[in-house]
Structure 1
């Protein structure tokens, strides 16, 4: 055989070895067996640097296999050993030259979100990291990883969306954040959200979370009920925490994904057939804090109020203190804290059911839970740590249950109002004024029973200033309970509000409505300006802003019907101050902005201009501004429904079916729409006030207006 010359040999490129080195450089030099980890066990024991040079700790085939497995089940915790193979057999420099400019960015993005996690900065060359950051800015519409997002934002950014999978088969542990991140979000929920309804016992829930992560660390299946409860807390915390730092769409998307995983955990645990306390807690947390209208249809039915009541009855919560159930508890050793928790859950459902019966909507003048059909003791006014002692404290002693009990008292009065007024209303008759006055006395009596630390008078605020600093949630609950009562005073006297301005027989309704509306606005001002400030901002709670808008409209209607009053100018300034309060809320919260835009659309739709005689004795139409005309249908449709605390929770916005003429009018007023977009809320209200003397808003019209404004949300408590 002819041998090749040296020149030919040098001209012929050498063949690459059939297999790339799989051991680290240190093990190859010492001729040791390498376990191909990073760092390997030999380097770790010797505390030396572990480097593979230009090669990854494994073959390309193993890398492909490991990549697929990791994509299916990402690591659950940052402390879990990272995948063995994270690099291909070619160096990053060679890959950059041989592929297009987009491929390295996608590879690095995959490494960051699926394989490498926190190790990306050291694994990707500096030029590629720079290009990757530019690539991320170009895709700013996608959510970015931050300390509040955990795994959910990371996997969504990586292209894996839980809601695209089957809820019955989705691998739930793969979407859990690290244990430390989960506890941070739990602490946020406990400190800033749980005080609204107090549906969990924090120490017990925290122990359940620790037990869940311990099971997963041992490769054991976690308790699906605990997973559902954790995901419900994550969904709520993510929404309100991201709302202050991220676009509203990002906060909604992340909370929606976590809520879907909550529903998936309930489905996989067969919760509907075998309900349990943790599953009911999870469903109630989602139902109270997030809108079920934006959730995935495959799980949204789990969080409807009717379903929650049904599951609670399946657990026997409505018979918790019946003689038979009490005897069964005496025979068996029972957990007193568990029994008290079940009482809290049942009365929370009952309170919500009765409160929404006195709000406009399909459930108006009716409720589901009948007091005669249940036997459950009221929750005790005690701290969570003392639930085993079952010692009830007087309501004058502030505890974590004080607000819940005051809210329950308000709900009971609302139920009595429904019982008294529904027969007349459902027969097509107006509610008699004597009935209104009698119900007002009941509401006033309940309001007088509010403990001193929930009052807003100067002496109470000074007396409990130290308490508010030590426990800011009590100061926030004080604001919620005040708004809840005063908004219902306005609603009770709504029918006689305008008549009371002219007819002395109904003057009490006019005075009470104005006083309550002003108190609602004053409470909101205190929320924004005085310590302790709300966290998150009170404008993020749609119930608060709904109360504020309704109070402002009440003052606006009063100016329109009393435009010739001697104090008209002062009242107009009062309305403008309320409008500025709304404007500031619009700027600080996307939730408030979208809800206010929807309610402004309804307000403009009902705003009409009367014909008045001109100088020649003929009827002339008062010229209306294009700001008011074009906006009847041209307002931004909100896309982010939010929770409620004192009233509407599941926010949806009524869709007014436009006629062909109205659509043609909108299409012909593009310039007016542009002007509307540039106009501020205060400008629009100023214009309404200037034309208030010529507004044709009859009694049926303004009653319809207030009803539609209340219907802007699905009423919830």
Structure 2
């Protein structure tokens, strides 16, 4: 039986099945065909060749919809979610093999509200006014059994994890949901793991959208706050960069994309891309791994403009490409300055290649050149980021109290990071500056910057601007304080040998720094490691009080008594699927990393007198040359996320 001739040429239909990322400029030709304008023979050949080339290159035209036969999503009360993900053994080919449990819509709205208030300003890669609509769209799809987009679901899971991780005792009274804060903190680790697992599943079968990359960045932040910027965080960040390139975030402002350059989605894409680029450059100088001294985002390999200095309400489709001056505070002030700071980090790598092979770091001339760039950046920091209180910011710039508070705390963050960057830049030569006058400038700049870190953090603690914000950032806080404490301790020991005045001030600063580290010990494994490494080295040199505690086993969390299984649901195919999360086995508090966490080392310095005795012991004439300062600074290790 002869085949019926097709209505249209098969070659004409082929390009219409390709997305714009594959077609490039050929997309316009396809539109002309649909509008009735027949392409010329050369145009048709070009289109056919583009299609064949895409097959040869393995271009993926996958959808961003998660197949329902692989993953299922259910909702239930947050109190019943003992584990956000649950494997379904023996499921049929038509039923999902893994189910992700989400809180009820009313509970999810509370978590999103908490995220917007306390967490989102820290990385600001999400357009805040779009989050409620995204949440509603996700839950509407769940209710109507519609198609679930992988990126939006990844973003929601990461937001749930971030909101729970930053939960405070005040939130228990404000929002309800929990009666104490440790419970959501433990559950946060499980939401992070669920997000990572969903990313892994989605990446193998779907195209992950911009929302999915935003979710990955949020997960990196939470993971780093647990154990520092580990290899796991490094992998996630590089994975986000790879996915961003797949989406074309590196070429948003290519001439072929001129039609979409002024859309809100493009501006958010610029924010996400430059956040990843700035992080890549920062890690090149701060990550103590084999990749130290290298970065993967080269300026000649991207065509995406920097994000504009604007508030979220100024971002909309058809917006003008004009930002506000840096003299006005916006939600993007911190991130615009962060890009500039990490451009300096990139220049360190460019001026001192093979940094890993040079134990002393860059030459002294390079260090002083970089310091000049840092000083130029310091000079350009606006006053609302340096010396103004939230009350003054709100009054002068006519901002709400809440936004003024955010501006103040981001200003404090940026100053601290700048001071820490200067400390690490000068540290190799600062130690030599005590004996070699040629490097005295590095010693002075390093010690002064360390003192500014302690002063900035102390002032912040006195104001108590935001506890939830502090809970979400123990890594950045403890790392910079640890660096400052060690530098001040080193300075104290050297100055003690030469009987320099003002030793009492140094004692006070060191005590303040140790108190800050002790206060964050329970918030982060990294903070505990910092303090323990410091006390260990001091004790080995007869300085620290010889107090030890017994190692305790891994903390195990028993699911809530309320988390009981409910009657199962039988699918139309006869297979039994749960309608509420099953009460799994005991949950490990360290589930976020899949490892057992042991709390060991030295007993906590539990009173001011202990801290004072530690510092007073420095007066016993310890030989400063016997202290292995490298061992202490090694405590920063892979946790250097500045």
The TM-score with structure 2 as length reference comes to 0.70
Alignment root-mean-square deviation, CA: 3.9
The Cα offsets for residues 470-501 of structure 1, whole Å up to 9 and x where unpaired, read as: 41211111111011100111111101223323
In the alignment, structure 1 residue 565 sits paired with structure 2 residue 481: no
In the alignment, structure 1 residue 575 sits paired with structure 2 residue 513: no
C-alpha displacement of 1:378: 0.5
> In the superposition, relative to structure 1, how do residues 570 and 294 fare at CA in structure 2: closer, same or farther (>3 Å)?
closer
Aligned to 2:256: 327
CA distance in 1, matches of 2:97, 2:106: 26
Aligned to 2:67: none
Aligned to 2:373: 442
- Of residues 187, 203, 226, the one that matches 1:254 is 187
Aligned to 1:714: 639
- Of residues 329, 332, 336, the one that matches 1:398 is 329
- Of residues 126, 143, 147, the one that matches 1:217 is 143
- Of residues 481, 494, 519, the one that matches 1:548 is 481
- Of residues 522, 526, 530, the one that matches 1:595 is 526
The Cα offsets for residues 496-521 of structure 1, whole Å up to 9 and x where unpaired, read as: 22332344322221221122111111
> In the superposition, relative to structure 1, how do residues 479 and 302 fare at CA in structure 2: closer, same or farther (>3 Å)?
closer
CA distance in 2, matches of 1:609, 1:704: 11
C-alpha displacement of 1:180: 1.4
CA distance in 1, matches of 2:631, 2:346: 23
Secondary structure of 1:283's partner?
Answer: helix
CA distance in 2, matches of 1:637, 1:604: 22
CA distance in 1, matches of 2:293, 2:199: 33
Counterpart mapping for 1:87-236 below 5 A? 151=78, 153-156=79-82, 162=85, 169-172=97-100, 175-236=101-162
Secondary structure of 2:639's partner?
Answer: coil
CA distance in 2, matches of 1:459, 1:247: 29
Higher RCO (CA < 8 A, seq sep 6+): 2
> In the superposition, relative to structure 1, how do residues 255 and 693 fare at CA in structure 2: closer, same or farther (>3 Å)?
same
The Cα offsets for residues 537-561 of structure 1, whole Å up to 9 and x where unpaired, read as: 4685221122112211211111111
Contact 2:74 2:99 in 1 (8 A): no
> In the superposition, relative to structure 1, how do residues 243 and 553 fare at CA in structure 2: closer, same or farther (>3 Å)?
farther
In the alignment, structure 1 residue 76 sits paired with structure 2 residue 62: no
> In the superposition, relative to structure 1, how do residues 526 and 220 fare at CA in structure 2: closer, same or farther (>3 Å)?
same
Secondary structure of 1:171's partner?
Answer: strand
Contact 2:352 2:362 in 1 (8 A): yes
- Of residues 416, 426, 431, the one that matches 2:357 is 426
Secondary structure of 1:176's partner?
Answer: strand
Aligned to 1:364: 292
C-alpha displacement of 1:216: 2.5
Contact 1:455 1:461 in 2 (8 A): no
The Cα offsets for residues 413-452 of structure 1, whole Å up to 9 and x where unpaired, read as: 1111222234466245553322221111011111212222
C-alpha displacement of 1:685: 6.1
> In the superposition, relative to structure 1, how do residues 277 and 697 fare at CA in structure 2: closer, same or farther (>3 Å)?
same
Gaps of 5+ in 1: 1-71, 78-149, 611-623, 641-649, 656-665, 667-672
CA distance in 2, matches of 1:256, 1:574: 34
The Cα offsets for residues 57-84 of structure 1, whole Å up to 9 and x where unpaired, read as: xxxxxxxxxxxxxxx999736xxxxxxx
Contact 2:166 2:468 in 1 (8 A): no
CA distance in 2, matches of 1:425, 1:393: 40
Contact 1:235 1:259 in 2 (8 A): yes
CA distance in 2, matches of 1:337, 1:228: 20
Aligned to 1:695: 622
Secondary structure of 1:357's partner?
Answer: helix
Secondary structure of 1:304's partner?
Answer: helix
> In the superposition, relative to structure 1, how do residues 487 and 381 fare at CA in structure 2: closer, same or farther (>3 Å)?
same
In the alignment, structure 1 residue 384 sits paired with structure 2 residue 307: no
Secondary structure of 2:635's partner?
Answer: helix
CA distance in 2, matches of 1:572, 1:301: 36
The Cα offsets for residues 88-137 of structure 1, whole Å up to 9 and x where unpaired, read as: xxxxxxxxxxxxxxxxxxxxxxxxxxxxxxxxxxxxxxxxxxxxxxxxxx
Aligned to 2:279: 352
Secondary structure of 1:76's partner?
Answer: strand
Contact 1:319 1:376 in 2 (8 A): yes
CA distance in 2, matches of 1:681, 1:163: 47
CA distance in 1, matches of 2:554, 2:383: 39
The Cα offsets for residues 262-294 of structure 1, whole Å up to 9 and x where unpaired, read as: 234435544675232122122221122334988
> In the superposition, relative to structure 1, how do residues 334 and 540 fare at CA in structure 2: closer, same or farther (>3 Å)?
closer
The Cα offsets for residues 659-683 of structure 1, whole Å up to 9 and x where unpaired, read as: xxxxxxx9xxxxxx89x46864762
> In the superposition, relative to structure 1, how do residues 411 and 461 fare at CA in structure 2: closer, same or farther (>3 Å)?
farther
CA distance in 1, matches of 2:253, 2:142: 37
> In the superposition, relative to structure 1, how do residues 551 and 301 fare at CA in structure 2: closer, same or farther (>3 Å)?
closer
Larger mean Cα displacement after TM superposition, 265-274 or 368-377? 265-274
CA distance in 2, matches of 1:477, 1:248: 24
The TM-score with structure 1 as length reference comes to 0.63
- Of residues 347, 352, 358, the one that matches 1:416 is 347
The Cα offsets for residues 148-194 of structure 1, whole Å up to 9 and x where unpaired, read as: xx52x4231xxx6625668973223xx12121111111011111111
Secondary structure of 2:279's partner?
Answer: helix
Secondary structure of 1:345's partner?
Answer: helix
> In the superposition, relative to structure 1, how do residues 542 and 272 fare at CA in structure 2: closer, same or farther (>3 Å)?
farther
Gaps of 5+ in 2: 1-70, 173-178, 557-590
Contact 1:231 1:259 in 2 (8 A): yes
